[in-house]
Structure 1
């Protein structure tokens, strides 16, 4: 057991160090881009990035969750993994072509859109087709994930600092992220392609349709999650303008740091939980309680420290009153992560028990609560209202997931 626990800690450290670089990239890019291009342009970048994140869900489909489960459950069956890779990437290719076509149509026929920002940013969608990180999570090769992240983000940061030199260059920021990811992801994708002798053209129409039917509930769930986490900035941009969208993007950037940490925790613990559960259910439940208890305690400490540090730095910098007040409104956003952390063990149990439809229903309702709540509260209470709406949505999601999964722990 000690060896298993040591390996578990080692996986967290290895994967966590890569994610640290992943999180460091926007923290290094943001101050530079804001200083060169302005907070309003940063707001435009934030809104466009949110749209691309939502669109990426259709390319990923169910691979980030069901794909990890499928790979981790068939480590000794190379043919099964090869078949799943073929189906997954065949669908990704079709989805990518469809989304790019629709995006070009929208850019051409809908006026007042920032054409260059979205056209160049579409390279981020291309990189998502190649993205093999979910596969390496499934086989628990976290060192390989680190290489992917570190090299791609190094390219991104370097390109931004080399070529973003004037206000109008903000249109290239997402493009550089897409280029860095595409170069690195495609290299590892073709290695996997060769090792597993993939053949995307061998997939039948029926196989693709069966895959869609099996995975679409989790896609609805992922899409709903993407909507309620990324749509607020679009509502803020529409109601309050690019300045406040830029301010919100700064607050959301720090929340994203904590969300990414939770993603690390989820991605490392979920394959392990699955493998233990099929051998010993009681031990698996005990594992969940122990790991998530430690996780929540650690996260609480981190959030409190970040909150106090952010208040100190905002007070120390000589900022104009409007900017300082807006940033102060964003600091409570950090505590949203604690609510998210509470639902992780229950969410994992729902996925393990193939309750994707239930997850999809909860997430869809959460997206509706966010959309109407955020719009109403932002319109009436400005930026503070949008922060309140985040708490309302996450509490609704967490309570619903916990209630839905409690009975499963007794089975």
Structure 2
């Protein structure tokens, strides 16, 4: 298993590396042609649609992976789950698209072109089947999906973004590239499992909705405290500082991407292992997460030390240098997140979605309140202080509840 998981990490990790490189390649082109204010607008709308997309995901990115990894050899079980899952997804997709289109008639001050063309991000979310392949641990297929979609995205951006007013096309291109590629693999899954919206079971829809709603709340809460800083900054400080924050956020994205790889590869393996032997599953969590934290700390040290050696005040504008120096101090945040991953995975397996949703909802509420007032008084630095505080609070609560749950079961 050790050899297999290393191969899976490398395979899936290479795909996520492409996901990370794509915005880094796109950012200089868009900023140089359209300006940093436009980059800020794009970042804000992307954050909003990321939040909306979670309703289309529902709980499939976590509980869906769990169900498929456990029942990967049970055709009927997976067929029922996928039928139900896509029916729920479609309902949310239709409602959200209607709401976005309708809101454009009532909110005259918003950038209508940018919002309406960004609807392709939602269609991509509906057709996205990478979570299914994740459950089957077919990371090679996920890589092909990511590689092709991001190549199309980057190439078309460089071809079409030629004037300042073209910024509204960026998210349309991203959503369209993803939709085209995802749709091809969606059709393959649809045919393979003989799916149909006319073969739905009401009791399964109710059960799945009930089970996954808490995960939706958890995911939405996580997204709120990740995405809300740029929304608050844009509201209080304007598009320019939103653009600055978006650039700085790309530094944190390196480590977020790494943690995403770790979570997505280790979770189905943990589910399968724990389902077979509980003690073996716990040992797996301890070993793999100890290695993960060690690698993450090493990565943070390399970035901080290397960055201070390479990037100096002589190279950058003093204002930008001070901002980057401040950001570098906050890459400790992913280490805090990494500490809660094994406990988070354990609680999900134990169907403790409700307590997770409560903890994360509390975190997102505090993030909006603290983020607003700290940004109001301390400008862009205040939002980062809020992120650091909320991340620490959430991690502490998840660990404490998980230890309490495990101790109760063990006794």
* TM-score, length-scaled by structure 2: 0.96
Cα pair 1:285 1:409 within 8 Å, conserved: no
1:187 aligns with 2:187: no
The separation in 2 between residues aligned to 1:40 and 1:311, in whole angstroms, is 28
The separation in 1 between residues aligned to 2:235 and 2:157, in whole angstroms, is 27
The separation in 2 between residues aligned to 1:230 and 1:141, in whole angstroms, is 30
SS of 1:303's partner is: helix
Cα pair 2:70 2:275 within 8 Å, conserved: no
Name 2:167's counterpart in structure 1.
Answer: 170
Which of structure 1's runs of 4+ aligned residues deviate more than 6 A?
A: none
The separation in 2 between residues aligned to 1:95 and 1:54, in whole angstroms, is 13
For residue 215 of structure 1, the aligned residue among 191, 212, 215 is: 212
User: For each residue in 1:127-170, what CA deviation from the matched residue of structure 2 results, as whole angstroms up to 9, or x when unmatched?
Assistant: 00000010001000000000000000000000110000111111
Q: Provide closer, same or farther for how the CA distance between residues 102 and 20 of structure 1 changes in structure 2, counting only shifts above 3 A.
A: same
Cα pair 1:366 1:396 within 8 Å, conserved: yes
Cα pair 1:233 1:249 within 8 Å, conserved: yes
Name 1:334's counterpart in structure 2.
Answer: 331
Query: C-alpha displacement at 1:204, in angstroms?
Result: 4.4
Name 2:65's counterpart in structure 1.
Answer: 68
Cα pair 2:65 2:268 within 8 Å, conserved: yes
Cα pair 2:16 2:261 within 8 Å, conserved: yes
The separation in 2 between residues aligned to 1:83 and 1:254, in whole angstroms, is 41
SS of 1:186's partner is: helix
1:287 aligns with 2:284: yes
For residue 148 of structure 1, the aligned residue among 142, 145, 148 is: 145
SS of 1:165's partner is: coil
The separation in 1 between residues aligned to 2:104 and 2:307, in whole angstroms, is 39
The separation in 2 between residues aligned to 1:125 and 1:308, in whole angstroms, is 40
Q: Provide closer, same or farther for how the CA distance between residues 308 and 241 of structure 1 changes in structure 2, counting only shifts above 3 A.
A: farther
* TM-score, length-scaled by structure 1: 0.96
Name 1:104's counterpart in structure 2.
Answer: 101
Cα pair 1:64 1:134 within 8 Å, conserved: yes
1:32 aligns with 2:29: yes
Query: C-alpha displacement at 1:309, in angstroms?
Result: 3.6
Name 1:135's counterpart in structure 2.
Answer: 132
The separation in 2 between residues aligned to 1:247 and 1:169, in whole angstroms, is 20
Name 1:371's counterpart in structure 2.
Answer: 368
Q: Provide closer, same or farther for how the CA distance between residues 205 and 110 of structure 1 changes in structure 2, counting only shifts above 3 A.
A: farther
Cα pair 1:349 1:408 within 8 Å, conserved: no
Q: CA RMSD in A?
A: 1.4
- Between 393-402 and 254-263, the greater mean CA deviation after superposition: 254-263
Name 1:125's counterpart in structure 2.
Answer: 122
Gaps of 5+ in 2: none
SS of 1:76's partner is: coil
Name 2:7's counterpart in structure 1.
Answer: 10
Gaps of 5+ in 1: none
For residue 227 of structure 2, the aligned residue among 227, 230, 252 is: 230
Query: C-alpha displacement at 1:313, in angstroms?
Result: 5.1
Cα pair 1:152 1:184 within 8 Å, conserved: yes
Name 1:160's counterpart in structure 2.
Answer: 157
- Between 154-163 and 275-284, the greater mean CA deviation after superposition: 275-284
- Between 190-199 and 284-293, the greater mean CA deviation after superposition: 284-293
Query: C-alpha displacement at 1:75, in angstroms?
Result: 1.1
Cα pair 2:230 2:242 within 8 Å, conserved: yes
For residue 386 of structure 1, the aligned residue among 383, 387, 397 is: 383
Cα pair 1:252 1:333 within 8 Å, conserved: no
Q: Provide closer, same or farther for how the CA distance between residues 284 and 299 of structure 1 changes in structure 2, counting only shifts above 3 A.
A: same
The separation in 1 between residues aligned to 2:31 and 2:254, in whole angstroms, is 19
SS of 2:351's partner is: coil
Name 1:349's counterpart in structure 2.
Answer: 346
Name 1:20's counterpart in structure 2.
Answer: 17
Aligned pairs (5 A) from 1:188-337: 188-312=185-309, 314-315=311-312, 318-337=315-334
